[in-house]
Amino acid sequence: MASHTTPRTPRRNLPRLTLDLPPDFVHRVRSLATRAAMVAAAVPVTAAVALTVTDLVRRRLHPLTTKFPTEKPLTEHIDETATTVYTYGADLYDAMLEAIAGARRTVMLESYIWKDDEVGQRFKQAVIDAAARGVDVYVIVDGFANLVVPYSFFRFPPSVHVLRFPVLRRGMAYLNVRTSGRDHRKILVVDDEIGFVGGYNIGSLYATQWRDTHVRLEGPSVWELRNAFVDFWNRHRKPRHPVLTDVGSHTWMPHLKAARNAPSELVFPIRGIYLDAIDRATDHVYITQAYFIPDHDIHAALLAAAARGVDVRVLVPHRSNHVVADWLARGQYASLLRGGVRIFLYQGAMVHAKTATIDGRWTTIGTANIDRLSLTGNYEVNLEIVDPGLAARMEDIFAMDLSNATELTLAQWEARGAVAKIGEYLLIPLRPLL
């Protein structure tokens, strides 16, 4: 059989392409890229600094000291647990100090900020007195949040066990989520029988000039807050600190639970409870937030709820104590307003509450803001409560707060000046940080 061979295609000698580059070309490109990156980072940071300085001047000239409406603490019962909601700091502090004064066995106090002022000194003396009469006292404070508080203020007698959550921890330089979160929680547990949680830090300013929300529990559900404190203490204690006993709970109440964000375990359930509750809404969603910078999913959930006819209302400060957070929040107002979400601006005072109530059934009260730092960064605790009585109470409080707020309309927002629009645009790169 004759063999057939395929003729080979002759090779074509293609001309080589050569680039005659200067010897320092790569160095120049790298240098330009570095400079461009530095400029890109510097622009939003410079804008943020300028806003902060301007706001400091404005706050001195026009402080937020206007009186605001409050309600007396009222109690609702959820099974065997009594819940009391506080909307005025002075009332809350009186109740907390009364609980500490009546302590017989244990006091567990955790605060993000603890000021060295008249109210702060009262709390310090209260826990010292409790320890002096034989009560086991445990205190947790966040080191970073209290950098401006004299270090000597947190010197207690040896009978008071103090855990100062460190400012710097291993891994922070690499932006490791497990080690970069702050302890943003505010918890008090007395004798495993009475517990408090909410947005109030400890300080004279918060007693009368800030509108915030805290809740007091009395009964078996206090275990939710005790367990949150004990787990954090045992996780972060030093060898000199005693181990706290995990006692367990005989009570299971799925309609009153604590959701706890724990960055060291990469656990962030508070974001999940918000998404689930908003997705379930069929009638109304009322949210009160100090710093409202929702991520893509929560933003989309609110728009989807509004699109299906749910009355979605968000109450935020007209001016908060963090001007950059205010401007970052405003960057999302246009899309929310166009999508049917109603936005209300609290006037004359700082509203610092972290609450929501939905459809007359679901409520959350706690320490977490709707922003990246709280929902995927810091240690937080929010109570998730499904109870029509408490939901009705929270709706009354929301209505009270609306009486001190003005609604922001889409027409008003679109008529804002060009400088404001440019400022919002320049700050967009900072949104993932807050």
pLDDT digits (tens, 9 = 90+) for 172-202: 777 788 988 999 999 999 999 999 999 999 9
pLDDT at 248: 93
The answer to the question of residue 164 being in a domain is yes
Mean pLDDT to the nearest integer, 315-344? 92
CATH no. for residue 200?
3.30.870.10
Of 329 and 140, more confident: 140
pLDDT tens for 402-433 read: 999 999 999 999 998 887 777 777 777 777 76
What pLDDT score was predicted for residue 15?
62
Would you say residue 178 lies in a domain? yes
**pLDDT computed for residue 171 by the predictor:** 75
Both tokens of residue 404? 């001190």
- What does the pLDDT read at residue 31? 66
Q: Can you list the alpha helix ranges (DSSP code H) found in 144-221? A: 177-180, 204-208
- Tally of domains within the chain: 1
Residue 59: per-residue pLDDT: 67
Which pTM was predicted? 0.87
What domain range is 265 assigned to?
74-290+352-403
Amino acid at the residue 166: P
Using CA atoms, how far apart are residues 189 and 192, in angstroms rounded to an integer? 6
Q: Supply φ then ψ for residue 410, to 5 degrees.
A: -65, -40
Residue 427 lies in a domain: no
Residue 147 lies in a domain: yes
- The DSSP output letter for 145 is T
* Residue 283 · residue 306 · CB < 8 Å: no
Contacts of 316 (CB under 8 A, 6+ apart): 288, 289, 290, 291, 292, 329, 343, 344, 345, 346, 351
Q: Kindly tell me if the per-residue pLDDT of 315 is higher than 80.
A: yes
The span from the CA of 297 to the CA of 338, in Å, is 17
Neighbours of 206 (CB within 10 A): 23
- 246-252: long-range pairs with CB below 8 Å, 24+: 247/192, 247/223, 249/220, 249/223, 250/220, 251/80, 251/220, 251/221, 251/223
Q: Is residue 263 part of a domain?
A: yes
- Please say if the pLDDT value at position 18 is more than 70: no
Return the structure tokens found at 269.
Answer: 């359930």
Q: What's the distance, CA 235 to chain centroid? A: 21
Beta bridge partners of 382: 259, 366
Whether the predicted pLDDT of 50 surpasses 90:
no
Q: How far apart are CA 382 and CA 277, in angstroms?
A: 14
pLDDT digits (tens, 9 = 90+) for 76-97: 999 999 999 999 999 999 999 9
Side-chain-side CA neighbours of residue 158 (13 Å):
1
Nearest residue to 373 (alpha-carbon basis) of 328, 319, 334: 328
Average of per-residue pLDDT across 124-152? 97
Q: Is residue 331 part of a domain?
A: no
pLDDT at residue 40 in the model:
55
250's tokens: 């005989």
Quote the pLDDT of residue 420: 76
393 in a structural domain: yes
Instruction: Specify the pLDDT at position 284.
Output: 98
Is residue 225 assigned to a domain? yes
pLDDT surpasses 90 at 11: no
